[in-house]
Structure 1
Amino acid sequence: MSDVVRRAGLPAAALVLVGGVLAVQLAHGGGSFEPLRPTDPCVERTVTSRSSGIEGLTERLVLLGVDAAACRLQVSREALVLELGRSGDPTEAQVDAVRQGLETAVARMEDDGTLPPASELLDEALDEAGLNGLLEAAIRAIPDRVVDAALKTDDVLLRAIADLDLRALLADLEDQAELERRVEDAVTQAVKDSLAARVRDLL
């Protein structure tokens, strides 16, 4: 077969292949296109973290909290972030929904047994607490059972959430990733500060 004949046959072969693909698509309901619907934030999803320690804990907390906030406002996660980005200034209802969503996430994690004991988070919090050496050493010497009896992780998280300036955190957002990053960073630092401050009272 000459090169000319071979080149002439390629477009025809391509048309046959495309026609075959279209026929299969139509046979399986591909004739009608519907855009993907946003995930329903009220449907509980399994959330895992890519990180560990306090950062991993707060990552999961924020993902669940944003879901709960969007569900409370009866919008999708994507729509919530879009509304926040458009206004640049969150409404009282949005701020309240996010705070209550984070609190709901704490309760869910407590119920499903995924909240670690406070003693597992303490070393990480102390690493950044900036305490003098003697005080830090004394705190690290406290037995885990004493720490866990005195400090409950859900209580530490709820106190940290209550202290957040959510109005500032939610202002001028561009996308969901930025929302999650801002709140994660703030909660992570608040948890570290809260743990370090409260454990000093045990001495």
Structure 2
Amino acid sequence: MTQKNLTKDIKSEIVKNALTKSGIFEKEEQLFKDRADWAEKVRIEAIGGENMDSGINDIISEIKTLANKIPESVREDDFPIRESSYIEINLAGITVWAFYNGARERGCQRYSRQRVTKITPRNTSVILADNPLVNEFYELEKRYNELENQREDITNNVEAALAKVRTVKRLLTEWPEAAELLPKSTAKAAPVPAVRREALNELIGLPTEADND
């Protein structure tokens, strides 16, 4: 079993496990949440404040209650409130689409998330340079770029390590700590003395330290 070949699927799983181990996915999920919170603050400011948003929702509730009294056969589907999955803003001179689900852009399969729609102004909202939301936006962008760089570094380094070996046994000879990254369905050989890959281990967070208990 230790002679099992490192197939494309196994290598992909090792890279994914390395990213998981490094905490990339947890950081990305938190970034989604923080970006969604930012988009909501932008939306509330564009509408005119939380009281205005609450008032609009109360009106919508009343309209729906009255609409339910009308026979379904004569109702129209159109509703007099604009809802969207994002708000378009002029952020201190640049155009930004703030998505309510925390996405950064449209059409990115890796970051596909459930669509969230909310009451949204029709016109482009303007946020001036002295608004704290501008600094918050650039902090989110900085975190995004740092995560992308970390993801790329880990992926490239792990793929480079895997490109030098053909079997699980050889991988564990060259990089014993990689045993933690192997798919559960793959038999794991016992680590043997080998050339250490300190930089790569530190980048991912290997090996996992045992509890003191």
With normalisation by structure 1, the TM-score equals 0.26
- Going by fraction, where is strand more abundant, 1 or 2? 2
With normalisation by structure 2, the TM-score equals 0.25
- Going by fraction, where is helix more abundant, 1 or 2? 1
Higher relative CO (Cα under 8 Å, sequence separation at least 6) belongs to 2
